[in-house]
Amino acid sequence: MIKQYKARAIVWSIAGIIIQFLGLAGIFSAKQATKDLDPAFAGVLLLLIGTGLLSFGLYFYTLAKNQRPAWALAGLLCLPGFLILHFLPDNSRPVAKPAAKKRKRP
């Protein structure tokens, strides 16, 4: 895994997940904080912002694993999308060559 992209992926992904959960809390909040701001509207807005940040973080995660950047769209699935990307193979590692077989001399 490429460390340069991994650090960015962690920061953006965690921020996105936290903001998504705050948005979900706002959507299901029963009490309105002010007369002007509906918590459901603010929650949906936070959920969309969090999804964008999570997708941005997963973009760096795909770069760190040397996968196609289109996999970052898995961020639309929130945590299941993160788990899908986590279990994808890491293509940045060099593939080990099988040991050469020694020929027996007659």
Q: What is the pTM of this model?
A: 0.79
Query: Taking 90 as the threshold, does the pLDDT of residue 16 lie above it?
Result: yes
What's the mean per-residue pLDDT of the chain? 85
Angle, helix 3-27 to helix 79-86, in steps of 10 degrees: 160
At residue 15, the pLDDT reads 94
Q: How far apart are CA 73 and CA 51, in angstroms?
A: 10
Using the 8-state DSSP alphabet, how is residue 58 labeled? H
Q: How far apart are CA 2 and CA 91, in angstroms?
A: 10
The number of angstroms, rounded, from the C-alpha of 69 to the middle of its chain's C-alpha atoms is 11
Query: Taking 90 as the threshold, does the pLDDT of residue 50 lie above it?
Result: yes
